[in-house]
Every structure is written in structure tokens, then in C-alpha cells.
């Protein structure tokens, strides 16, 4: 038996011999069953033989398994000098990346992030912002009104009202959120992201607004930005302006802004004779279109992975 075990060259043969020895009808199994009729000396001999054979089988199994592993290692190996497979790694969506960059710039200017509800009441979305009942922004063609009289937030300026009501003055804050208007074309979406900024203090001027806008856009686009300022009208600022940015050989409208209207300050229990400030707002998705050279804002929301990959995202 010992010689048989020694001469075996495969695990299959070893398994067959093990079964013939220790299986249900194996030779050693038969001896162990008859131990009750044996003398003590005979039992000792059988026990010793049983232990020895089991150890021999175990040692032979380890020997054969190591030999099989070494043979496999000799023919199968990994060439560590080969280039690795390209890693399919996800990236931030361009809108998310743009929002992250703008937020970091605003925070570096000392502004604090505020958020607010997307379903707003009339006071915060319109009235407190000095928007009278007859203003066209209240028209059903522009806003999504709910049955209870509330409205899907048309501008994140509503968050400015909430911030001033809670914090008072002085205050430097910016708000981020989705806004909703009945617009849908290549440069407008019915739902779009907006950033609003507000700075209220005792000596804030229009020059501070212009400097902040120029610094923000220059940091975001990573180059010096040429701005053009035009007079405009918004019910919540006075004077009101619009900023255009030179892009190539064209002037592009970027955002609306102005000095906060005294009525808005009064509505938030801030004395306009002591405090003044500026506010501006823009859609960060339109800035992202410019930065990434895109022509249709709707492509941002289609969820087409192929489009994102083709545009380097």
C-alpha cells in the first residue's frame, strides 16, 4: 500500500486508491469494523496502520497539488510590462462641474451659500421682491402656478428674501437652485439652474457689483473678461443693469443685476437709509454652454452617455 501511494502520479489516481482504502467498502474500513473482535495488540497495530496511511495520503495529496500548481505557473503568467486595460471611470456632469466651480469662487469671495424651497408662496416669489400684481412676471404664460396659489419658484431671488428675513444686515450670500418658467428652446429650458448673489452693507456701491462680476467671470472662464453694462429694469433693483460679455466678436447677455430696491429692504425689515447693496442672478447652465462650446442647452438634460463622451466629459 505504501509503495502504491508513493508511485501515484495524479490526484485522480490518489482519489481512487483512497476510496478503495477508506471508502464504504474499503480495505481499511473493513479492518476498523472488525476491531471489536481483536485483541488489544491487534487493535494497536490497526490504529497505527490507519494513522500512517491517512498521513501518507495527505502528504501525497499536498505533493501532487503543489506539482500541478508549479506546472500551471510555468505555462501561465502575467506580463507586467504590458499596458493595462483602459479604465472606464465616470466623471462629473458638465453642469455639476460648472456649479462646483462657481460655488467655490463665490465662497472664496466671502459669500455664504443659502438654499430654499422650490415651491414658493406669493410673498417670497413676487410681493417681497417689489413685484406688483400687474407685473408680467405673474402672467400664467411665464410661471407654473399651483391650485393653492403657490408657484414653482421662478427665480432664486426668493432665497434672498428668506436670507434677509432671517439674518438681517449686513449679509453676503449666494443662492443655488432650480427655477421653473414656461420657456423651452435652444437657449432656454423650462427648468434651469440659477445662481443669485446678494451683498448688503453700509457702503456697498455699483462699482462693487461691477468688480464682483468681472472677478467671478474671469475666474470661471480662466481669462480676462470684457464687460458691457446696459441699463435695464427689474422691480427688485434700482438702478437695474444687464451685463454683456465679449465672446469672440460678439456681445452675449450674461445676467441681470442692480442695486437692491429700497422697498425690498423695507419688506425684509432692513432700513434702506442705513444699508444698501447689490444683487445679481444668472443661469449657470448658460455659462457652462459657453465654457464647453455647446449650442443647445437641451443636450445637458437628455442623459445621452454618447453625447457626454463625444464632448470629452
Backbone angles phi, psi at 103, to 5 degrees: -60, -45
**pLDDT value of residue 311:** 62
Distance CA 164, CA 198 (A): 9
pLDDT of residue 103: 92
CB 107 within 8 A of CB 113: yes
| pLDDT tens for the chain, residues 1 to 313 | 778 888 888 888 888 888 888 888 888 888 888 888 888 888 888 888 888 888 888 888 888 888 888 888 888 777 778 777 777 677 777 888 888 999 999 999 999 999 999 899 989 988 999 987 877 766 655 777 888 888 888 888 999 999 999 999 999 999 988 888 776 555 556 777 788 999 999 999 999 999 999 999 999 999 999 999 999 999 999 999 999 999 888 898 889 999 999 999 999 999 999 999 999 998 877 888 888 777 777 777 677 777 667 666 6
223, 246 in Cβ contact below 8 A? no
Q: What pLDDT, on a 0 to 100 scale, did the predictor assign at position 171?
A: 96
Alpha-carbon distance 311 to 256, whole Å?
29
The CA distances from residue 141 to 136, 137, 145, 236, in Å, are 9, 9, 10, 21
- Tell me the three cell numbers of residue 106: 463665490
Q: Strands 151-152 and 119-120, how do they pair?
A: antiparallel
pTM of the model: 0.66
Cα distances from 236 to residues 109, 126, 139, 246, 258, in angstroms, run: 24, 9, 17, 26, 8
Q: Where do the structural domains in the chain lie, given as residue ranges?
A: 2-75, 94-310
Which CATH class, in words, describes the domain spanning 94-310? alpha beta
Query: What pLDDT shows up at residue 237?
Result: 94
Report the pLDDT value the prediction gives residue 41, as an integer from 0 to 100: 86
The three-class DSSP label of residue 8 is coil
What pLDDT does residue 189 have? Answer: 60
Distance separating the N- and C-terminal Cα atoms of the chain: 70
| Residue 177 dihedral angles phi and psi, to the nearest 5° | 175, 170
pLDDT, position 85: 74
Angle at 285 between CA 282 and CA 291, to 5 degrees: 105
CA distance 142 to 20: 89
The x, y and z cell numbers of residue 73, run together, are 505557473
For residue 185, the Cα-to-chain-centroid distance in whole angstroms is 27
Amino acid at each position: 500500500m505504501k509503495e502504491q501511494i508513493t508511485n501515484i502520479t495524479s490526484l485522480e489516481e490518489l482519489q481512487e486508491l483512497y476510496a478503495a482504502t477508506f471508502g464504504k467498502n474499503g480495505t481499511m474500513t473493513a479492518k476498523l469494523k472488525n476491531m471489536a473482535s481483536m485483541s488489544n495488540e491487534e487493535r494497536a497495530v490497526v490504529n497505527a496502520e490507519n494513522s500512517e496511511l491517512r498521513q501518507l495520503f495527505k502528504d501525497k495529496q499536498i505533493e501532487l497539488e503543489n506539482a500541478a500548481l508549479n506546472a500551471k505557473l510555468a505555462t501561465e503568467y502575467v506580463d507586467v510590462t504590458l499596458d493595462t486595460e483602459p479604465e472606464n471611470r465616470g466623471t462629473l456632469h458638465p453642469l455639476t462641474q460648472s456649479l462646483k466651480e462657481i460655488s467655490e469662487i463665490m465662497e472664496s469671495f466671502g459669500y455664504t451659500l443659502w438654499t430654499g424651497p422650490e415651491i414658493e408662496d406669493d410673498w417670497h416669489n413676487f410681493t417681497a421682491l417689489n413685484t406688483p400684481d400687474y407685473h408680467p412676471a405673474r402672467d400664467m404664460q411665464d410661471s407654473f402656478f399651483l391650485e393653492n396659489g403657490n408657484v414653482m419658484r421662478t427665480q432664486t431671488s426668493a432665497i434672498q428674501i428668506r436670507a434677509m428675513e432671517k439674518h438681517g444686515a449686513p449679509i453676503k450670500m449666494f443662492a443655488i437652485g432650480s427655477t421653473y418658467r414656461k420657456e423651452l428652446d435652444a437657449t432656454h429650458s423650462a427648468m434651469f439652474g440659477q445662481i443669485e448673489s446678494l451683498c448688503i452693507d453700509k457702503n456697498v456701491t455699483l462699482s462693487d457689483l461691477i468688480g464682483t462680476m468681472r472677478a467671478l467671470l474671469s475666474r470661471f472662464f480662466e481669462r480676462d473678461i470684457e464687460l458691457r453694462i446696459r441699463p435695464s429694469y427689474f422691480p427688485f433693483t434700482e438702478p437695474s443693469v444687464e451685463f454683456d460679455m465679449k465672446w469672440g466678436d460678439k456681445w452675449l447677455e450674461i445676467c441681470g443685476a442692480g442695486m437692491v430696491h429700497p422697498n425690498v429692504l423695507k419688506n425684509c425689515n432692513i432700513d434702506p437709509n442705513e444699508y444698501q447693496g447689490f444683487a445679481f442672478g444668472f443661469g449657470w447652465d448658460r455659462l457652462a454652454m459657453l465654457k464647453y462650446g455647446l449650442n443647445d442647452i437641451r443636450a445637458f438634460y437628455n442623459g445621452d452617455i454618447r453625447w457626454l463622451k463625444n464632448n470629452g466629459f
